[in-house]
Amino acid sequence: DQVSLEGYDHYMLKEIFEQPEALKNAIRGRLDEENATAIFGGLNLTPQQLRSVNRIILTGCGTSWHSALVGEYLLEEFARIPVEVEYASELRYRNPPLESDTIVFGITQSGETADTLAALREMKRKGHRTLALCNVVGSSIAQNADGGVYLHAGPEIGVASTKAYTSQCIVLALLTLYFGRLRHLSFEAGKQMIEEIKRVPAAVQEALSCDQQVREVAAKYQSATNFLYLGRQYNFPTALEGALKLKEISYIHAEGYPAAEMKHGPIALVDEQTPSVFIIPRGTVYDKVMSNMEEVHARGGPIIAITSHDDNRITEIAEDVIRIPEVPEFLQPIVSVVPLQLLSYHIALARGCDVDKPRNLAKSVTVE
Ligand code: G6P
């Protein structure tokens, strides 16, 4: 590979640690502080056209589909635009009734994923504007879309996506600000979002300091055969992404679930050998997730808690508590995924797996 490891043992670890820089690059030049909004040069749509968008489809595969889920929470809450998230491979063969003012965003790190490319082509054929949220400049999807946004995350070599994911999330937050300010979002609210977005790279930097502790946690659970990842609202996609990271590189079965939905099935899996990772930063659903955590504890399941909150009860019932800095809820996915990326990395390493090139997986899947 042409990209150097720069002293890191693996590309994945390097890319995890590059996230503060990648996030800065994704934000750079995109903040319009004077007007309390964001700037996007390449959407190729006039503000009038953007204002009349009445539905957004976010589509992608794998990790990119997870950032699409984060995008759904963001755009619906702050821009008040109805959003559908679709697996690209499903969207292509479905025939959803869509109004003409629906735009379709393909989210993709590589810009080469066959399913995403095909879904966008099909949507374009039906007369929808297609936009790409993409990392690789000049890639097939970037060229085929009517417009788009680049992540500027730099090359991602590790098969398990890390910095592209957090960069997708921050760009979706910026797009939300942009769409929001064309609609309902006040100047003051826009300004506040800008201030909060600007603090994210430093918060991710701080979150990375849990690396040593996560390595110890990983050593404890490296022989587990099942993991649960549980979170709610903005951190439901984080639970899915944490579970995917573990599956991809350590080959341990893991399920990501909305924490409250656990009682409708996955709770049957809880036993002393099945760790549950709870993503429980301070926020509106904190008490609810806390009671889900109590349920797992009562059934003897070991708990790893990812939290920004100093709560004695968490310390009492969780085997391990990993601290992350506090950020507003809409930005939490970007910070709370960091310990989960590190957890999968250290577990895979401890199990002797090939972290950067896991079996059966490819960095970009160019076949259907
Ligand atoms: C592959 C990779 C994943 C990635 C997915 C989508 O499965 O292994 O890490 O999330 O493709 O890739 P894309 O480049 O479209 O984001």
N-terminal to C-terminal alpha carbon distance within the chain: 26
Ligand 1 atom 2, closest CA? 363
Angle 352-355-361 from CA coordinates, rounded to 5°? 115
Distance (Å, rounded) from C-alpha 242 to C-alpha 344?
Answer: 8
In short, whether 151's Cβ falls inside 6 Å of ligand 1 is no
- Mean per-residue pLDDT, 17-35: 98
Q: What is the pLDDT of residues 79-94, one digit of tens each?
A: 999 999 999 999 999 8
Atom of ligand 1 nearest to the CA of 62: 10
Residues listed for the chain:
368
Reply yes or no on whether the pLDDT at 61 is more than 80: yes
Q: Rounded to the nearest whole angstrom, what is the distance from the C-alpha of residue 299 to the centroid of ligand 1?
A: 36
**Spacing, Cα 267 to ligand 1 middle (Å):** 29
Q: Whose CA is nearest to atom 4 of ligand 1?
A: 62
Tell me what the mean pLDDT of segment 126-136 comes to. Answer: 96
Name the residue of 15, 66, 108, 113 whose CB sits within 8 Å of the most ligand 1 atoms, as the mutation to test its pocket: 113
Mean pLDDT to the nearest integer, 168-175: 98
pLDDT value at position 98? 87
**Banded model confidence at residue 197, pLDDT cuts 50, 70, 90:** very high
Which residue bears the tokens 């589909």? 65
pLDDT of residue 179 exceeding 90, the answer is yes
Q: Is 79 helix (H, G, I), strand (E, B) or coil?
A: helix
Q: What is the pLDDT of residue 96?
A: 87
Q: How much is the pLDDT for 127?
A: 92
Query: 245 an active-site residue?
Result: no
Look at residue 1 in the predicted model and tell me its pLDDT.
52
Q: Is 39 in the pocket of ligand 1 (CB under 6 A)?
A: no
State phi, psi for 193 to the nearest 5 degrees: -60, -40
pLDDT surpassing 80 at residue 198: yes
Percentage above 90 pLDDT, the chain: 94
Please list the alpha-helical segments (H only) found in 42-107: 47-51, 62-74, 88-91
DSSP string, 111-134: S--HHHHHHHHHHHHTT-EEEEEE
Question: Mean pLDDT over all residues of the chain?
Answer: 96
Tokens 């056209």 locate to: 49
Q: Is the minimum distance from the CB of 162 to ligand 1 under 6 angstroms? A: no
Indicate whether residue 110 lines ligand 1 (CB < 6 A): yes
What is the Cα 97 distance to its own chain's centre? 28
Q: Determine the pLDDT at residue 321.
A: 97
- For residue 137, how many other CB atoms are within 10 A of its CB? 10
Residue 368: exposure state from Cβ atoms within 10 A (0-12, 13-18, ≥19): exposed
Residue 95 makes CB contacts below 8 A (sequence gap 6+) with: none
In the predicted model, is pLDDT for residue 244 greater than 80? yes
What residue has token string 């996955």?
A: 266
The span from the CA of 245 to the CA of 343, in Å, is 9
Higher-pLDDT residue of 225 and 97 is 225
Nearest ligand 1 atom, CA 116: 15
Q: Which of 335, 83, 153, 107 is nearest to 234 (CA)?
A: 335
Q: State residue 282's pLDDT score.
A: 93
List the residue whose alpha carbon is closest to atom 3 of ligand 1.
Answer: 62
pLDDT at 95: 86
Residue 315 has pLDDT above 90, yes or no: yes
Confidence class of residue 2 from pLDDT cuts 50, 70 and 90?
confident
Most distant CA pair in the chain, distance: 57
Mean pLDDT of 164-191: 97
